Amino acid sequence: MLSKAEEKIMKILWKQNGAFMKDILDVLPEPKPAKTTVSTLLKRMTDKEMIKYETIGNARKYIPTVAKKNYFGKKFKEFKNTFFNNSSTQFASFFTKETDLSISELEEIQKLINEEIKKKKQ
C-alpha cells in the first residue's frame, strides 16, 4: 500500500496517465514539497512496483502500473477486514445506518445492488 503522500502523487499519475517530475510538481498544492522529496516518493513507489518510468531524453516519465480501480479495491478490502471483521454485511449496515445518506442516495444504492443481484443470478 501507499503512504498518503505517495497516494497524492499516484492520483496525479492516474489522472494524467503518466507524468514527468515537472508535471507532478506543477499540480501538487502549496506548500509544494521539495523536488528531492517527490523524487524519494517516486523511488519508493517504483520499488513497490506501483509505477514504472520511461526515460525520454534526460527526463523520466512516471507511469502507473496498477489501475486505480484495482488499488482502491484492495485498499477497501483491507479496510473492511480491519474495521468490519471482513464482513460485507457489517460494513453495509454501518454504511447505511451511520452515514447521512438521503433517501435518493439509498434508492440509488438499492438499484445498484438489485442490478448486481440480477447479473449474478444469470
Instruction: Specify the amino acid at residue 44.
Output: R
83: helix, strand or coil: helix
Does residue 1 register a pLDDT over 90? no
Sheet holding 51-56, edge to edge: 19-20, 59-64, 51-56
Cell 514504472 identifies what position? 52
Report how far residue 49's alpha carbon sits from residue 116's, in angstroms, rounded to the nearest whole number: 32
Strands 59-64 vs 51-56: parallel, antiparallel or unpaired: antiparallel
Residue 77: predicted pLDDT: 94
The pLDDT tens digits of the residues spanning 90-110 come to: 999 999 999 989 999 999 999
The pLDDT tens digits of the residues spanning 5-50 come to: 999 999 999 999 999 999 999 999 999 999 999 999 999 999 999 9
Give which of 22, 27, 18 is closest to 45, Cα–Cα.
18
Output the nine-digit C-alpha cell for 16. 494524467
Report the top-level CATH class of 4-64.
mainly alpha
Does residue 85 register a pLDDT over 90? yes
Q: Which helix (H) or strand (E) holds 10?
A: helix 4-16
Residue 6: predicted pLDDT: 96
| Mean pLDDT, range 42-71, rounded to an integer | 97
User: What's phi and psi for 51, nearest 5 deg?
Assistant: -140, 165
What residue segments make up the domains of the chain, in order of their start? 4-64, 87-122
